[in-house]
Structure 1
């Protein structure tokens, strides 16, 4: 880090990192009411780890997201989405992402929602590397139908555009 606190490297140092859940966030945008109304919300990250290795593509990432943390600020909608009709958070309390390949511009892996696992890819749109931590900004689009979340077709948006800001601290 330079004298005024700016990052000085572009790749985190090798080793194991834990996700700082207090400094990390997942936000989403979707559409509701036949695609006419925008919906914005958040999910909470429960925890996760990152193993930064050399070569970089062999690095590993695992993230756990609290499914019941789904929040749009509309209590009735949030209860409906957490219910058996959508996320069924009592039976499927976690959404997980496990990486298979990491490079400077993307992370590809397996996303599990409602017990269904599909391939997913995160596009890295920015990063900040410090001596003992790093933050990654990434985006992805998830098709809820691919994960068996099929209620309210037409009424609720099919896709969620996710934005992740994840801070990782060296263990």
Structure 2
């Protein structure tokens, strides 16, 4: 009897092993910062007359994703706030001061997803905790899959873009920039390499 139970267990294990590769499991991807195939950009209105554009030059992160089970996806990002670059040295110095990001005290901004919900193969929303200047808020914003597939170097890649608008005072940034400049728009473009 024990031999029959053991044989059945071995057979079941073999069957599971044969079926397991077909089960959708999220793959881990590393954001391709080394190849500069990702960006964290921002824009904010200047006096309501034009857009001030900038970016963060140093960041890192990763995500998990499977096209057969996209709602199981997760993403995490870490941004070096001192890498802010608006193409104007004096302005950057002010934006990095305690009037704005206070990068000496808060050198990192982070995002950790809680959930992702796709409405079709390419479009969805992500909800997660964004921490900036020591303040953590739960935010939700739309994401779009740009594409996925093999690369010329034997790897496999997938890319997404997402945009959100952040209210400055929510993160302790109270410097008055005028009524047209209460929010900053953030754009995240990521291309990940499957690990």
State if a TM-score over 0.5 links the two structures: yes
Please identify the structure whose Cα radius of gyration is greater.
2
What are the superposed Cα offsets for residues 114-137 of structure 1, whole Å, 9 maximum, x if unpaired? 010001123113421114110101
Q: Is the 8 A contact 1:94 1:113 kept in 2?
A: yes
What are the superposed Cα offsets for residues 24-68 of structure 1, whole Å, 9 maximum, x if unpaired? 002222112x32332111113521111226743332211011111
Q: Is the 8 A contact 1:45 1:63 kept in 2?
A: no
Q: Is the 8 A contact 1:122 1:139 kept in 2?
A: yes
Equivalenced residue count is: 159
C-alpha RMSD of matched pairs (Å) = 2.1
Asked whether 1:112 is paired with 2:131, we answer yes
The TM-score with structure 2 as length reference comes to: 0.74
Offset, 1:13: 7.2
For 1:90, the equivalent position in structure 2 comes to 104
Larger fraction in strand? 1
Output the CA distance in 1 between the equivalents of 2:91 and 2:182. Answer: 15
Q: Secondary structure at the match of 1:157?
A: coil
| Higher relative contact order, chain-length normalized (CA < 8 Å, sep 6+) | 1
For 1:38, the equivalent position in structure 2 comes to 51
Larger fraction in helix? 2
For 2:190, the equivalent position in structure 1 comes to 166
Output the CA distance in 2 between the equivalents of 1:137 and 1:50. Answer: 13
Asked whether 1:52 is paired with 2:65, we answer yes
Q: Secondary structure at the match of 2:95?
A: helix
The TM-score with structure 1 as length reference comes to: 0.84
